[in-house]
Chain A
């Protein structure tokens, strides 16, 4: 199995955003107040940046068959555009690179249902202990 074979996606809803606000303490009205957010250039609420990251974790953990990332794993990423309720974000990964010690790395993009990249970056995964 390669990283490109793994389906990884998340569907974003306002209740999910509200719940993430309670977890993270980030109650920015842009996330949780549809009335205020409607008056912004986004036209509605936007998800916390960590929510559309989830497909990266799903795919990376499925790739190595572990429930958590092994110590020393890294992610470097840029947020390109916001995600909103109703969006479904999936992972599009480039072919993984495997080092001689078994460590893996892949470039990725988190892409919405319109084919727009919302996040892009790179993930490295050392060999799990």
Chain B
């Protein structure tokens, strides 16, 4: 059943919809690097200070939370992003992502929701803020 707080009409702007945690693994980093062609030694397990995750990998954290929690409705069309990147995530980090619907508007008879996903590490440092606007059914 769809969470009413995730629908266009039911969304409460600014209210947290869900929160999720993941632990960044070296296998996750290796898989992402292989997929996207990243080969810098900083991503490897023997990197000083521990392997860093490529910055673009942080886009997946909030998306995964949104899909797993059924926040994004089927048929949603992503129109644009406003993203801010923080400290890099590292293998072993426990990341917490908070997802909030931050805006709602209609334009040309289409309905839009703006989602914001803020990901922080176990020290409370901001890893990224990913905000995207989508046309929703």
Q: Which A residues are closer than 8 A to B by beta carbons?
A: 10, 16, 19-20, 23-28, 49-50, 53-54, 57, 61, 67-79, 121
Contacts and interface: CB of A to CB of B under 8 A. Distances in A.
Contacts of B64: 23-25
B80 A77 contact: yes
Interface string B63-89: 111111000101000111111111110
Interface stretch (B3-11, B49-57, B99-107, B108-116): B49-57
A128 to B, nearest CB: 11
Given A50-B56, A67-B43, A68-B52, A73 B81 contact: no
Contacts of B83: 74-76
A19 B28 CA distance: 11
Interface of B: 28, 31-32, 35-38, 40, 42-43, 52-57, 59-60, 63-68, 72, 74, 78-88, 126, 132
A76 B32 contact: no
Contact of A23 (B31, B68, B88): B31
Q: What's the dominant secondary structure at chain A's contact region?
A: mixed
Given A25-B64, A50-B60, A61-B55, A71 B86 contact: yes
Given A16-B35, A23-B31, A53 B87 contact: no
Contact of A26 (B63, B80, B85): B63
Contact of A69 (B55, B66, B72, B82): B55
Closest A-B pairs by Cβ, 7 of them: A25-B67, A67-B42, A25-B64, A67-B40, A78-B80, A24-B63, A69-B55
